Amino acid sequence: MDITYSFMIPALEWIARQFHSYGWAIVILTVAVRIIVHPLVAASTRSMQRMSQMQPQIKVIQEKYKGNPELFQKKTMEFYQKNKINPMGGCLPTLVQLPILFALFATFTGPPFGDKAIPVKVKVVAKTAVVQINKAEVSGGNSPYVGKNGARCKLVVFPGDSTIAEGDTIDFGVRAVDGTMPAEFKAQWKVQGAKNVQHGASIDESGHAAFPEPGEVTVNCVVPGIAKNESFCFINSLGKVSQGMALFKPANWDNLVMIFLFGITMFFSQKLMVQPAAPNADPDQLAIQQQTQRTMPIAVTAMFFFIPLPSGVFLYMVISNIIQSLQTWWVMRTPAPALVDVLAEGPAGSQGEIIVLDKSSAKVSPVQNLSSDGPGGGGQVKKAAKKRKKPGKKQSE
């Protein structure tokens, strides 16, 4: 099922018609999708919170049983079981929401926000060469077009990839394979050769192409985006694409601002995910975590300086980061429950406890002891029992 074509684009078009703005359609659709996937985001965040909380205790178990891998494995599984921790608990919710988020991203990268080309490869051979002349029926098939009234269809180019003799001509056309092609649709035809060498090939507005010389060329049918020139707030064109040094031109400052906003919102989103360190946390792990928190937003932001994306995609990423930060804050404000310590031991019939840092609230909280494995286990706080003297008989002097 094509989520983008079947769900995202119709929802986008409906919102755009209600608010008469594709900019507001991007914002509202992004917020709506983020609300829909919130249960998955919350489950993933809680799992990450729990996994981060348990790392110091896992290290204690590892140190104690480093000479006995079998017992280490057993105690680790016991620790997971008693604390109801699933090591894969954070991965599954993330994997489930990825197709939805990818579909949303695809909605803002193609029509109606930008032109999309349907390529047809044409191999032209000399008439003296002994080859099989053939033409595929169509090219494309997953290329959507969105009309001005919200009508949508999937387009293909006919004929498709072809091998022909020099001097031959081809009349290219476009038809819909899903939906009805709107009457206002008009394809734009372009010829592109390898290393900008077109071998004399040409094509007119009607799709009539001539190939006078041998070589390989690509005929592109460009599907236009109807909203690519629409403005929104400080964004002068939702379909505008700029990268590299072009971002510093005044006409492209809107994209530059959104790239920086993306980096800032990503930094705060990551900062919310980092919890206060436990007293017995691994210093090396903390250093790596802090380094990642500082460098990751910078690296990802720098990457978008060189990736050609429409302005509408940057708007989507900024709004998505803001919503994700709010969702993360909402989940992380609730402290994770105290961990059960499988190493602590108390006397028979008693229940000991050790003290660990509750990372979510930076408060000290108990780790309950529900099992024992021998003397000297796991940093147990021993409570001294008060002894009472029993009354004895008076001794004669």
124-177, pLDDT tens digit by residue? 888 776 566 777 887 777 788 888 777 888 888 999 898 888 888 999 999 888
Q: Which residue has the higher pLDDT, 194 or 213?
A: 213
Contact 229, 237 (CB under 8 A): yes
What is the per-residue pLDDT for 322? Answer: 92
How many Å apart are CA 4 and CA 27, to the nearest integer? Answer: 16
| Residue % of the chain over a pLDDT of 90 | 15
- Reference 311, options 32, 5, 15, 23; nearest CA is 23
Instruction: Looking at mean pLDDT, say which of 18-22, 57-61, 293-297 comes out highest.
Output: 18-22
How many Å apart are CA 256 and CA 234, to the nearest integer? Answer: 12
* Average model confidence (pLDDT) across the chain: 78
The predicted-structure confidence for 14-34, as pLDDT tens digits, reads as follows 999 899 899 999 999 999 999
What is the per-residue pLDDT for 31? Answer: 94
Q: Which residue has the higher pLDDT, 319 or 392?
A: 319
Quick one: DSSP state of residue 86?
-
| Rounded (to 5) percent helix, strand, coil in the chain | 40, 20, 40
Beta-carbon count within 10 A of 32 CB:
12
- Reference 23, options 231, 226, 225; nearest CA is 231
How many Å apart are CA 239 and CA 221, to the nearest integer? Answer: 18
What is the per-residue pLDDT for 276? Answer: 56
- Reference 172, options 138, 143, 196; nearest CA is 138
How many Å apart are CA 179 and CA 142, to the nearest integer? Answer: 12
DSSP result, 209-276: EE--SSEEEEEEEEEPPTTTT--BTTBS-TT-B--GGGGGSGGGHHHHHHHHHHHHHHHHHHHHHPPP
Sequence-ordered list of residues with C-beta below 8 angstroms from that of 308, at least 6 positions apart, any chain? 241, 242, 243
The predicted-structure confidence for 259-286, as pLDDT tens digits, reads as follows 999 989 888 887 776 655 555 556 776 6
- Lowest average pLDDT, out of 163-177, 241-255, 275-289, 380-394, goes to 380-394
Q: Which residue has the higher pLDDT, 319 or 67?
A: 319
Which element (helix H / strand E) includes 355? strand 353-358
Given a cut of 80, whether residue 218 has pLDDT beyond it is yes
How many Å apart are CA 256 and CA 246, to the nearest integer? Answer: 10
DSSP result, 10-44: HHHHHHHHHHT-HHHHHHHHHHHHHHHTHHHHHHH
Beta-carbon count within 10 A of 190 CB:
12
Given a cut of 50, whether residue 394 has pLDDT beyond it is no
